[in-house]
Amino acid sequence: MRTAPGAFSLPLSVDRRSASPLHRQVYDGFRAAILARALRSGQRIPSTRALAADLGISRIPVLHAYAQLLAEGYFESRRGSGTFVSNLFPSAGARPHQAYGSRIRTLPSPARRRIARLARDLAGPAKRDPWMRGQGAFSIGQPALDAFPLRAWSSLIARHCRNPLARSLLYGDAMGFKGLRAAIAAYLRTSRGVRCETDQVMIVSGSQQALDLSARVLLDPSSAVWMEEPGYWLAQRVLRAAGCRLVPVPVSAEGLDVAAGILRCPNARAAFVTPSHQYPLGVTMSASRRLHLLGWAHRTGAWIVEDDYDSEYRYESRPVASLQGLDDASCVIYIGTFSKVLFPSLRVGYVVIPPALLDSFLAMRQAMDVAPPHFSQAVLADFITEGHFARHIRRMRMLYAERREALVAALAREAAGTLRVIGGEAGMYVTVALERRRDDVQIARRAARDGLWLWPLSPAYHDPHGKAAQHGFILGFGSTPTSRIPDAVRRLRALLTRE
């Protein structure tokens, strides 16, 4: 029996011993694949010559089969460009077969209910919320891509793709590429005050994978976890997905209120924190709160997950050293990312693992996705060791300082009495609270119609409608040129006055 690999491995085979003639087998194979929608309208069909060669048969039966399929309307030929599957099912409702995915309806009901509930239980900002997809004034999580050294980056990509080493095409180390891990360890020791050796650094696909991995290793379903209130929605989502019980612990101007956490849940298994630059309020955890948090973790055996996502950029002082650097009992799992300092689609982050947990993290990582992809790691390692990274950070620190200053000044000029800045000493956003309680989600929806991408603050609380939830906005400035910021703030003021 021969099968037709074609461009996309057509689901087609012929059997010379079969009683059915070859042209009929080819015809039946195409017809069945089209009706089952394995082949879709507009998809190109191989030439008769190519298919005959792939199937190892003469061209005559293939010509017969094609002529029949064209005559019956399964195929259409376009002059000069080839043969294509016709549009047999103009509306989705006309599918002849049961839609794929209907199996969930046949599962026993508790399992079915659990699966159906999943999306709702994990809910955070919905994908359709306009601020999730906007690009322009105030959108968050978007660095100044126009200032990214694309030329240096592309030449490193070309270097690695032109002459790849054979071993770079094979399965890599589950901890990640050693050259990159060493470069990151050196950077973290000098710039972030992290205590680490290369062996403790694991490369992951962004902080998100590090959070997922930490939850899988450290927590059980129903483990209690302190979560900053308000906090990072994607961390909440990971912890909910792991079945944990989230214990919201309020954040004040000094960061996480450790005493309140101890009162609410003294025996939590872990705490998730962003001490260098709390997301979303933008405050920095004070030294005394840091020591209090570490003391609690040492006493109770709890873990601390430190998410240090953007603290390279700090404007009114030098970068604050990590919490992990103060930890004498190896209870901090330190997570970082290149999403802010380089660009988010790179999907490269890292986790610094306490030595006693290395084997468990390694085994879990292998179970999740085996190992990280090699090329982006090799390119990034060179980008760091050849000095581009440090230079980029220095330049971006100046650029963002200018953008932030323009934003803070415009807010003071245009929106005093309406918006109050509550945090913005670091990173690429400034958080503002509405002086008078108003519905920030509604305002953000309307702002999106004017091309202003305000990320509302209240959904970052456990109970966005509760008394404790502040209403306001997280205003990104990373991707907005300085000259456009005053106008964006004027439009924001006009919107708030109109509402």
Ligand X SMILES: Cc1ncc(COP(=O)(O)O)c(C=O)c1O
Instruction: Measure Cα distances from 229 to 286, 416, 464, 475 in Å.
Output: 17, 26, 11, 19
Structure tokens at 337: 């990312």
- Kindly provide the b/e burial profile for residues 41-69, where b requires at least 16 CB atoms within 10 angstroms of the residue's own CB: eeeebbebebbbebbebeeebbbbbbebb
Which CB sits closer to ligand X, 48 or 311?
Answer: 311
Is residue 279 at the binding interface for ligand X, with CB under 6 A as the rule? yes
- Least Å distance, CB 230 to ligand X, is 11
Angle, CA of 29, 34 and 39, to the nearest 5°: 100
Could you give the CA distance from residue 253 to residue 284 in angstroms, rounded to a whole number?
Answer: 7
Minimum CB distance to ligand X, residue 483 (Å): 25
Question: Nearest approach, Cβ of 252 to ligand X (angstroms)?
Answer: 18
Interface residue with ligand X, options 29, 172, 255, 349 (CB under 6 A) = 349
Q: Which stretch binds ligand X (CB under 6 A): 15-23, 245-253, 337-345, 376-384?
A: 337-345
Q: Which of 208, 236, 324, 470 binds ligand X (CB under 6 A)?
A: 208
C-alpha 348/C-alpha 327 separation (Å) is: 25
Paired tokens of 428: 């690429």
Sole binder of ligand X in the list 139, 207, 376, 480 (CB under 6 A): 207
Closest CA to 437 of 414, 468, 409: 468
Q: Give Cβ neighbours of residue 257 (< 8 Å, ≥ 6 apart).
A: 249, 250, 251, 289
Q: In angstroms, what is the minimal distance from the CB of 457 to ligand X?
A: 13
Segment 87 to 116, residues that bind ligand X, using CB under 6 A: none
Nearer to ligand X, 75 or 279 (CB): 279
Residue 427 CB, nearest approach to ligand X (Å): 9
Query: What does the block give as tokens for 497?
Result: 């006055």
C-beta of residue 220 within 8 angstroms of C-beta of residue 199: no
- Are the beta carbons of 323 and 193 closer than 8 angstroms? no
For ligand X, the closer of residues 142 and 200 by Cβ is 142
Q: Which parts of 155-184 interact with ligand X (CB under 6 A)?
A: none
Among 29, 172, 176, 206, binds ligand X (CB under 6 A): 206
What tokens were used for 447? 């702002």
In this chain, which stretch among 201-209, 387-395, 406-414, 456-464 interacts with ligand X, using CB under 6 A? 201-209
Q: Kindly tell me which residue out of 322, 337, 377, 431 binds ligand X, with binding defined by CB under 6 A.
A: 337
Stretch that binds ligand X, among 88-96, 160-168, 200-208, 262-270 (CB under 6 A): 200-208
For residue 319, how many other CB atoms are within 10 A of its CB? 18
Q: Judged by CB, which is closer to ligand X: 177, or 279?
A: 279
Q: Measured from the CB atom, is 206 or 423 closer to ligand X?
A: 206
Q: Please, are residues 310 and 427 in contact by the beta-carbon 8 Å criterion?
A: yes
Strand-pair partners of 60 = none
| Residue 36 CA: distances (Å) to CA of 29, 88, 410 | 11, 12, 59
| Interface region with ligand X, contact rule CB under 6 A, candidates 43-51, 163-171, 204-212, 411-419 | 204-212
Work out how close the CB of 110 gets to ligand X at its nearest, in angstroms, rounded to a whole number: 33
Looking at residue 234, its amino acid is: L
Residue 6 found at the interface with ligand X (CB under 6 A): no
Candidates 136, 344, 451, 481: give the one binding ligand X (CB under 6 A). Answer: 344
Contact call for residue 232 and ligand X (CB under 6 A)? yes
Q: Is-cis flag, bond preceding 280, omega within 30?
A: yes
Quote the tokens at residue 455: 């990320």
- Span interacting with ligand X, options 22-30, 182-190, 206-214, 350-358, rule CB under 6 A: 206-214
In whole angstroms, give the CA distance from residue 26 to residue 14.
7
For residues 406 and 478, is the Cβ–Cβ distance under 8 A? no
274 sits near ligand X (criterion: CB under 6 A): yes
In whole angstroms, how close is the CB of 45 to ligand X at the nearest point? 41
Q: How many residues bind ligand X (CB under 6 A)?
A: 13
Residue with smaller CB distance to ligand X, 238 or 399: 238
The residue (of 200 and 205) whose beta carbon lies closer to ligand X is: 205
Please answer whether residues 58 and 52 qualify as being in contact, where contact means their C-beta atoms are separated by less than 8 angstroms.
yes
Q: Which is nearer to ligand X, 62 or 238 (CB)?
A: 238
What string marks each residue from 293 to 332 as x (binds ligand X by CB under 6 A) or -?
--------------x-x-----------------------
In whole angstroms, the minimum distance from the beta carbon of 497 to ligand X comes to: 30
Residues 123 to 142 in contact with ligand X, rule: CB under 6 A: 141
**32-40, 163-171, 336-344, 368-376 -> range binding ligand X (CB under 6 A):** 336-344
Q: Looking at beta carbons, which residue is closest to ligand X?
A: 206
Q: Is 339 one of the binding residues for ligand X (CB under 6 A)?
A: yes
Residues that bind ligand X (CB under 6 A): 141, 206-208, 232, 274, 279, 307, 309, 337, 339, 344, 349
